[in-house]
Amino acid sequence: MNRAPRALTFSGVTVRNLMRQPMRTMLTALGVSVGVIAVVALAAISRGFWDMTSMALRLGGCDLLVFQTGVAADILSSLEEKATRAALASVDAVEAVAGAIFTVQPVNDQPFMVVIGAREDDFSYRQLKPTQGRKPQRPDELMVGRVAAQTLCVKVGDKIRMGRHEFTISGMFELGLVVVDGGVMIDLDVLQEMTNRQDQITAAPVKLKPGADRRAAVEEIERRFPEFKAISEVEEYVKVDRGLVIMQALVWGVSGIAVLVGGLVVLNTMWMSVFERTREIGILRALGWSRRRVVGMILMESALISLLAAAMGSVLGVAVAQLATVMHITEQFVQPVYGPALFGWATLLAVAIGALGGVIPSWRASTFSPVEALRYE
């Protein structure tokens, strides 16, 4: 028994054209998706950094973070603790000032581990409730974050090594922020001594009085104390750390490369495909198809390849970003974030790739004289 024949549509024709060489279509889409994978993974990680930074800014009821002016990265900032506390306390809107060191140290066999030094009685630290054990009470005790405990394969009561010193894990904490949970927390005095930074801190978390305006406080602090950079929003973080800007620039750069390479891949495939179909294009023209429709057909084919690549690239990009986390490459530092904007960006890339790769072959197809095309065997 015959299947009932179905209507042929314009988009149906283009899909059928692509299905003719399924392997070529898939391989082309796969080639294009490599760039999309890179962009999606990188953008997810960059977005993760961004979100994490904005959460870190509010940790422990913090309104502002104050750093040293003119540094390239937040962990390179250095302030004198006593003077900084006194200066910031003199600002009207300020309710409380804390001091902290954020640094990176080798711990056991991990070459880079976030180490945070904090003071027992500071507002930001007082709030912290260990999920297991207790806060350190002796100089040779410290707390590990949940992720760090996993990475180091340690539990409360175990001993770990940092430089020449040995510590006992008195407790474990979890703040839901990978960069912090991936680190260890230690008394500020101990860390200052251990790293030879007496009376030094990297940043001063500041809590404002209820109802105080953060922006106004930032302005006042920076006006009165030019040696300070105060940050209340993640957008201002670039003042002390170029990391976010570099990440963002990297996403743009890789996107550009993805469009260029993907565009060339599509161009190559569609260019060959147009020439292979010279006679068919002549037949279509003889049957009354306009140039415009032939151009549309080629453009739509390259658009479909690119959208397929965007879909494949999005799925694989998420897989790559997750894999980087699962394989302990990034998990102590960042949790990738996948928003609708990310997949919107991937789709936009695909459109650009499709346009770049489709325009030239479709233009070429439109210049085929139907007479010549029909003579072509």
Partner 1 sequence: MSRTAELAAAALEAAAAPREIAVRARGLVKSFERGSIVALDRADLTIHAGEAIAIAGPSGCGKSTLLNLIAALDRPDAGEIEVFGTSLRSLTRKQADLFRSGTIGFVFQLHNLLPHLTAHENVQIPMVRAGISAEQRVSRASMLLDRVEMSHRVNNLPPTLSGGERQRVAVARALANHPRLILADEPTGSLDTRSGSQVLDLMRQIQREDGVTLVIVTHDLQVAQSASRVVHMRDGRITDA
Ligand X SMILES: Nc1ncnc2c1ncn2[C@@H]1O[C@H](COP(=O)(O)OP(=O)(O)OP(=O)(O)O)[C@@H](O)[C@H]1O
CB 125 within 8 A of CB 156: no
The three state secondary structure string of 281-337 is: HHHHHHCCCCHHHHHHHHHHHHHHHHHHHHHHHHHHHHHHHHHHHHCCCCCCCCCCC
Residue 9 binds to partner 1 (criterion: CB under 8 A)? yes
- Taking CB under 8 A as the criterion, the residue among 108, 293, 322, 351 binding partner 1 is 293
- Quick one: 199 or 372, whose CB is closer to ligand X? 372
- The angle formed by the CA atoms of residues 254, 256 and 257, to the nearest 5 degrees, is 65
- Quick one: 91 or 373, whose CB is closer to partner 1? 373
Which residue has 């283009």 as its token pair?
14
Whole-angstrom distance, CA of residue 261 vs CA of residue 271:
15
Q: How far is the CB of 1 from partner 1 (least distance, A)?
A: 11
Whole-angstrom distance, CA of residue 247 vs CA of residue 238:
11
- Quick one: 24 or 291, whose CB is closer to partner 1? 291
- Using CB distances below 5 to 8 A depending on partner kind, what does residue 197 bind out of ligand X, partner 1, none? none
Task: Name the CA dihedral angle for 195, 199, 205, 210, rounded to a multiple of 10 degrees.
Answer: 160
- Here's the x/- map for partner 1, 250-289, by CB under 8 A: it reads as -----------------------------xx--xxxxxxx
Give Dmax (Cα) for the chain: 92
- Using CB distances below 5 to 8 A depending on partner kind, what does residue 27 bind out of partner 1, ligand X, none? none
- Using CB distances below 5 to 8 A depending on partner kind, what does residue 280 bind out of ligand X, partner 1, none? partner 1
Q: How far is the CB of 14 from partner 1 (least distance, A)?
A: 11
Find, among 147, 99, 142, 93, the residue nearest to 119 by Cα. Answer: 99
- Taking CB under 8 A as the criterion, the residue among 17, 103, 170, 232 binding partner 1 is 17
- Quick one: 243 or 370, whose CB is closer to partner 1? 370
- Taking CB under 8 A as the criterion, the residue among 131, 137, 198, 369 binding partner 1 is 369
Q: How far is the CB of 372 from ligand X (least distance, A)?
A: 5
Site residues (CB under 6 A) for ligand X?
371-372, 375
Residue 89 binds to partner 1 (criterion: CB under 8 A)? no
Which residue has 């010279």 as its token pair?
278
Residue 341, H or E segment: helix 340-367
Residue 20, H or E segment: none
Which residues contact partner 1 by CB under 8 A?
Answer: 2-3, 5-10, 13, 16-17, 19-20, 279-280, 283-291, 293, 369-371, 374-375, 377
